[in-house]
Structure 1
């Protein structure tokens, strides 16, 4: 006997007493049942092992794919940098050649000038020798006097001109050198506003090394995908579209205004637009805003806006399409980039990151994201100051801060000018005395810089009559202003 519950052999007496109610079988029957259960468990283990082997193979597959992609990417990086290095080497050679040419030109000019000066020096040496021989001859008679005029004329020679040869224009060769070369690089290093993400490319899409275009590779059956290295299949990663020939851009937008142009060329069937980050990558669905896609398409020679239901667009044949996404305003515009005509506008309140979306089903067809022109500008620290209009009432309010201390300071400054001058006319002395007498009767406040007014009446509010009087009196010249002008003139006379 054998108890399957306790998994132990039994005698008939034990089976009847201590194992009552258990599954008790004969040994042969128990062995058969246990073998069946063991086979079931064995089959489960084999299935698990197969699953782990599949996962292992997938990891190995991904590893080989990454190795191949890394190798190709490294080659492309080296190629791109080599083109930049070659450009810099050519620019360096051109710069050095220009410097050498200028150096040789300056050198030739200097050598020609030196040769000319040497000829003049040689001529002067001959004349000096002739004059010295004439003097050493010792003649003081008629012969000397007869040759005097000729000898004297030979000593007349114009003064040499001070020659200042032009120097090497160092600033031309070194001024903003690195910036100038960097600015030239924009012609060999195009900028595309969006770049394609190969991780999302589905089926038979082949992405260019520059990640700005793709095409459908012929000879691949539906659902068969290959990487840039045709020997290594593309892994079915979660980001990849399957089974459709679709691809997203690497850049996602969740704010701001963005625009990019697409060259569709002669591709017969295509779809372009934007996709929400949460759009399904594996399931089959119809392209529409409800599925997280806002697109237009060309199918069977007809342009459509893929709304629900789709709307037919009246447009001539398109070769370049402009997509303009204003995430904040919730608009997506499509335009004919060649004629600048409007095609269609989606309006939606976007709530997640949006990615440029591309699809093509035409054999050998594809798209290219067009490069944008790059403009380099230099910021200026200058900030223009806007003129501030000051009303007459503001001037009156500001002038009320004028106190007797201001007048005293003005008088001190004037007295210092008088002391420097050292002399004044009798009229000016009398004028100074009158000003000092006036200071004693000046009220504590004045309404404008150039006008004294009476002390304000007590009260919390100003009356309109006081304001009107202040404005009328502001046009009359103030005595201390005339005083300052007179002193300034006196000071100029003393100087």
Structure 2
């Protein structure tokens, strides 16, 4: 309807709302500006209407009624446009009035009639006040995101610090790898030089011996040839009389002193060379049953470069782990979980009087809450405690220097469980024992030290390398029918065993 009314109030020339409408004799109306731009209408002799094409000789007359109507229509249109800009352009769907209020009870936008009728007993506030409150709520909710954005831009966010920490970890690990391989290279270089030196010594000895034999043989043969040549110069009677002796001296027979022992003992120097060097390397390459995980260390704890010792550290000497800054757990976990193949390790505590060690388990409870359990031994000064969920004071007369942890799987009523014993490794004296530790999530060893001077260190284990002998045919009880006898072989496949 509004569109039809606007069409009726529009000029046929410019297609806009009439501005100072002028009516011709034929009854059609146009804007004064449009009439001024029509050459046919400005000629006093003959004027043609653009709509009906009738000619007229009279000047146009102002259409005051249409002018007033157009002005009223423009004012109403401007008013509606202003209201739409102020109130979102959405009037009340029930009453068509301006939305001026907000019902806090029903959380609805309402007009004046809605407030007087359905929302009379509700909490109602002005629309501008509600908008301001909701904007403040949005700004408050947006504040953490703005702070996070600012910290990301400045590089102080956790993600940025973790990125820097990863870079520092890689640099430290690379330096440690180079240092460890340099030790191996140094060992191989020394071993190589020792073996080359032994080879050169044997070469020198046997070459000098052979040169002496050549020198002696040269002198002996030279004397023999000269003697025979002199005998050939004798008179005929003497020559024939001594012929047999001369012939015997002229004949050459090699000496039996040349044998394989005169050569280099290549088997001694090259036999199983790599295997022998590898077997010897076990003395310079310690094997640790537990490797500590530096990612689990809080900023207050420091892990050694070989990941086998831990001590309390100062913040200024070590780069703190950003993921452990807010943690109050001072435990450093072992990176290898306990299982049936790995059940015993020793920890050297020395004179440290403030430490805690044992096994640790983290699992999810029935309501998806992380549950942490630990079993171990704690020392505080001269007091020792057994750590279970709870602490029990122990009677320890002689503090241990090395503590042995041993896990043994047991079975009772078709139920598997762990049994943990903690003892003094030097005297094999059990300090405490924990039975029926439930199976499920793997147990991880943990260490904690509150002293800076004396670290807690994992004790390396001894490694034995023994060749495994393959069974003979007879031992395998294999019947080969016509085979009269069997032959045995030795398969040099090494078996590693760890000895405590």
Query: After TM superposition, is the score higher than 0.5?
Result: yes
Quick one: which of 6, 13, 18 aligns to 2:96? 18
Deviation larger for 345-354 or 326-335: 326-335
| RMSD (Å), alpha carbons | 3.6
Q: CA deviation at 1:368?
A: 0.2
Residues 22/177 of structure 1: CA separation in 2 closer, same or farther (3 Å cut): same
Q: CA deviation at 1:127?
A: 1.1
Quick one: which of 163, 186, 190 aligns to 2:257? 163
Q: CA deviation at 1:381?
A: 1.6
Quick one: which of 357, 360, 379 aligns to 1:275? 360
Residues 170/46 of structure 1: CA separation in 2 closer, same or farther (3 Å cut): same
Whether 1:47 aligns to 2:144 is yes
Q: CA deviation at 1:162?
A: 3.2
Give 2:305's aligned residue.
209
SS in 1 for 2:343: strand
Q: Residues 5 and 22 of structure 1 are in contact (CA less than 8 Å); yes or no, is this contact kept in structure 2?
A: no
Q: What is the alpha-carbon distance in structure 1 between the residues aligned to residue 327 and residue 130 of structure 2?
A: 47
Which deviations, in whole Å up to 9, do the C-alpha atoms of 1:325-368 show, x marking residues without a partner?
12455200111101111222110232220000112223434300
Residues 300/71 of structure 1: CA separation in 2 closer, same or farther (3 Å cut): same
Quick one: which of 315, 322, 327 aligns to 1:242? 327
Q: CA deviation at 1:313?
A: 3.1
Residues 64/327 of structure 1: CA separation in 2 closer, same or farther (3 Å cut): farther
Residues 274/32 of structure 1: CA separation in 2 closer, same or farther (3 Å cut): closer
Give 2:122's aligned residue.
none
Q: Residues 363 and 372 of structure 2 are in contact (CA less than 8 Å); yes or no, is this contact kept in structure 1?
A: no
Spell out the pairing of 1:1-400 with structure 2 (5 A cutoff): 2=83, 7-8=88-89, 18-19=96-97, 23=101, 34=131, 37-54=134-151, 57-135=157-235, 157=249, 160-165=254-259, 166-218=262-314, 220=315, 230=318, 232-237=319-324, 242-256=327-341, 258-278=343-363, 291-307=372-388, 308-328=390-410, 330-348=418-436, 349-382=438-471
Give 2:34's aligned residue.
none
Q: Residues 305 and 344 of structure 1 are in contact (CA less than 8 Å); yes or no, is this contact kept in structure 2?
A: yes
Q: Select the structure that is richer in strand.
A: 2
Q: Tell me the TM-score normalised to structure 1 length.
A: 0.63
Q: Residues 100 and 127 of structure 2 are in contact (CA less than 8 Å); yes or no, is this contact kept in structure 1?
A: no
Gaps of 5+ in 2: 1-81, 102-110, 113-125, 412-417, 478-500
Which deviations, in whole Å up to 9, do the C-alpha atoms of 1:52-90 show, x marking residues without a partner?
445771111001001001001001101111111111111
SS in 2 for 1:292: strand
Residues 279/74 of structure 1: CA separation in 2 closer, same or farther (3 Å cut): farther
Q: Residues 262 and 368 of structure 1 are in contact (CA less than 8 Å); yes or no, is this contact kept in structure 2?
A: yes
Q: Residues 216 and 365 of structure 1 are in contact (CA less than 8 Å); yes or no, is this contact kept in structure 2?
A: no
Q: Residues 298 and 320 of structure 2 are in contact (CA less than 8 Å); yes or no, is this contact kept in structure 1?
A: no
**Structure ID, larger Rg:** 2
Gaps of 5+ in 1: 221-225, 389-495
Q: Select the structure that is richer in helix.
A: 1
Q: Tell me the TM-score normalised to structure 2 length.
A: 0.63
Deviation larger for 358-367 or 204-213: 358-367
Q: What is the alpha-carbon distance in structure 2 between the residues aligned to residue 182 and residue 64 of structure 1?
A: 39
Which deviations, in whole Å up to 9, do the C-alpha atoms of 1:73-110 show, x marking residues without a partner?
00110111111111111111211221122122221111
Q: What is the alpha-carbon distance in structure 2 between the residues aligned to residue 15 and residue 161 of structure 1?
A: 129
Q: Residues 262 and 369 of structure 1 are in contact (CA less than 8 Å); yes or no, is this contact kept in structure 2?
A: yes
SS in 1 for 2:211: helix
Q: CA deviation at 1:3?
A: 7.4
Specify which structure has the bigger relative contact order, considering alpha-carbon pairs within 8 angstroms and separated by 6 or more residues: 1
